[in-house]
Amino acid sequence: MKKNGFTVVELLVSLSLTMVVVIVMFEIIILLKDLFQTSNVKTEILNKKSIIVDKMYTDINNRNVSRIEQCGDYCLNFTMNDSTERKFEVNKDENIITYDDYTFKLEKIYTIGNIYFSNDVLNYTSNEKNNGIFVLKVPIYSKLTNKENLGIDMVATYNTNSTAIGALYIKDTIQDNCNGSFCKDNMYNVGDEIKLADYKWHVIKNNESSITLLLDGNEISNRSHIENGVAPYQWSTSNINKYLNGTFYESLLDKGVDEDEILTEDKTICDDKTGSGGNPGALNTEGLDCKSEYVTSKIRLLTQNEFEEVKSYFTEKGLDYTFLYSETVGKWALINGDSSSNKILQVDSTGGISKDSSTVLLNVRPVITLRKK
């Protein structure tokens, strides 16, 4: 009599199929769990931060605030029209954010990023129109949201006739969250201090796709364009150029800067010699006549025009310019040379431009432009 049943092969195939189904179902469950946790994380943060942001917006937009002053590295004091005070404060050690009587504590899965305050005033006053811009950014990240910024990103306009904002400073050195690159969605402003390849830099230009940095004073010292004799200076043969685009450039790469992110515009620097009647070191975008040719450098020095632009920006807005020129910074080299003599141009401690020998030893402050991610 023939018996119906499973062969060993059929049992193995059946078990294999069952295991595949179980594994797929398990992965789906894990995925749904992660999606649920991520959704909960976003909802929790968005709800809590919106309460604080709404309270501050209401106070500022209704002109209830007479003055805002910084009361610590991560603290702002809001003085109301009735003389009462409301404090905005971030405790990064405890993961706590507070405004007035509302406080929320972040769980350990959250990280508070670098905090940013700024204030900008437009060049007009009116009782009807707002002419001030107040910015407050407190980034909040979580591994569950793939480091997406869920934090406070507040930009409020106000009227300087009814609200006064004192001088604000930034304690945090701005770091990026793009694995060593600069992020398109990060907030960078002219003068911001940034750490790159163990050097301290300052933002001098910023747009949607790139950022231009100037090295801090005293990082590189005692270098000259020409070592011996009194020869005409030109950028292509300068010892400073050779150092910056040789030893210094290699050190940036060794310390993690991505070579592909260093932007270089071909043939941008006028290679006229000093004393030739041309414009040694001028950029082709500055509209100055170049008698020889334009050359290319990945790293260069600041031009006189660029220095004057940054200097004007800071003095007009009443911002701290000591990173640009001061007794501490000392004299530092510009890329420009004199058209009528063999002298080069330098910035002195008072912010003036002076001429000196091409063999003089100066501080060197390279300029580098990087692509944003």
pLDDT tops 80 at residue 156: yes
Regarding whether 137 and 41 lie in a shared domain, the answer is yes
Q: Is residue 243 part of a domain?
A: yes
pLDDT of 319-338, one tens digit each? Answer: 778 889 988 889 999 999 99
Of the candidates 138, 172, 206, which is a domain's last residue?
A: 172
Q: Which domain holds residue 297?
A: 217-365
d(C-alpha 242, C-alpha 235), whole Å: 9
The answer to whether the pTM exceeds 0.75 is no
pLDDT value for 181:
58
Sequence-ordered strand ranges (E) for 159-303: 164-165, 193-196, 199-206, 210-215, 220-223, 269-270, 294-295, 300-301
Rounded Cα–Cα distance for residues 27 and 23 (Å):
6
Q: Lowest mean pLDDT: which of 166-170, 364-368, 369-373?
A: 166-170
Q: What is the arithmetic mean of pLDDT over 341-364?
A: 94
Q: Are 85 and 221 in the same domain?
A: no
Q: How confident is the model at residue 39 (pLDDT cuts 50, 70, 90)?
A: low
The helix (H) or strand (E) run that includes residue 175 is none
Residue type, 102: Y
Within 10 Å of residue 128's Cβ, how many Cβ atoms? 6
Which residue, 135, 150, 172, sits at the end of a domain?
Answer: 172
Res. 269 pLDDT band, cuts 50 70 90? very high
pLDDT for 307 beyond 80: yes
Interval 144-169 mean pLDDT: 81
Q: Are residues 222 and 361 in the same domain?
A: yes
Q: List all residues 6 or more positions away from 225 whose beta carbon is below 8 Å from its beta carbon.
A: 233, 238, 239, 240, 241, 333, 344, 358, 359
**Residues listed for the chain:** 373
Q: Are residues 55 and 145 in the same domain?
A: yes
Same domain? 62 vs 134? yes
DSSP string, 333-349: EEEEE-SSSS-EEEE-T
Instruction: Give the separation between CA 215 and CA 197, rounded to whole angstroms.
Output: 11
Q: What is the rounded distance in angstroms from the CA atom of residue 361 to the CA atom of residue 94? A: 48
**Do residues 269 and 361 share a domain?**
yes
Number of domains in the chain: 2
Residue 22 pLDDT grade (very low, low, confident, very high; cuts 50, 70, 90): confident
Which is more confidently placed, 200 or 40?
200
Q: Residue 316: its pLDDT value, please?
A: 80
The answer to whether residue 186 sits within a structural domain is no
pLDDT band of residue 6 (cuts 50, 70, 90) is: low
- pLDDT for 32 equals 61
Return the pLDDT at 67.
Answer: 93
Q: Which residue has the higher pLDDT, 346 or 123?
A: 346
Judge whether residue 369 has pLDDT over 70: yes
Does residue 155 share a domain with residue 51?
A: yes
Band of the pLDDT at 275, cuts 50, 70, 90?
very high
Q: What percent of the chain has pLDDT over 70?
A: 86
Residue 350 lies in a domain: yes
Confidence at residue 278, expressed as pLDDT on a 0 to 100 scale? 94
Q: Does 349 lie in the same domain as 223? A: yes
What are the Cα distances from residue 149, in Å, to 62, 74, 96, 142, 236? 28, 18, 17, 8, 44
Residues 161 and 242 grouped into a single domain: no
Express each pLDDT in 73-108 by its tens digit: 899 999 999 999 999 999 988 999 999 999 988 888
Instruction: Say what percent of the chain tops pLDDT 90.
Output: 43
Same domain, yes or no: 154 and 264: no
Stated as kind and residue range, the H or E segment containing 273 is none
CA 53 to chain centre: 24
138 and 224 in a common domain: no
- The mean-pLDDT minimum among 96-100, 173-177, 364-368 falls in 173-177
Is 122 contained in some domain?
Answer: yes
**Residue 368 above 60 pLDDT?**
yes
Q: Decide if 287 is inside a domain.
A: yes
In a domain, 158, yes or no: yes
pLDDT digits (tens, 9 = 90+) for 198-244: 888 888 888 878 889 999 988 999 999 998 776 799 999 999 999 99
Across the chain, mean pLDDT equals: 85
Determine the 3-state secondary structure of 2 from DSSP: coil
Residue 14 lies in a domain: no
Q: Above 70 in pLDDT, residue 3? A: no
* Inside any domain, residue 253: yes
Same domain, 140 and 226: no
Q: Which of 141, 172, 203 is the last residue of a domain?
A: 172
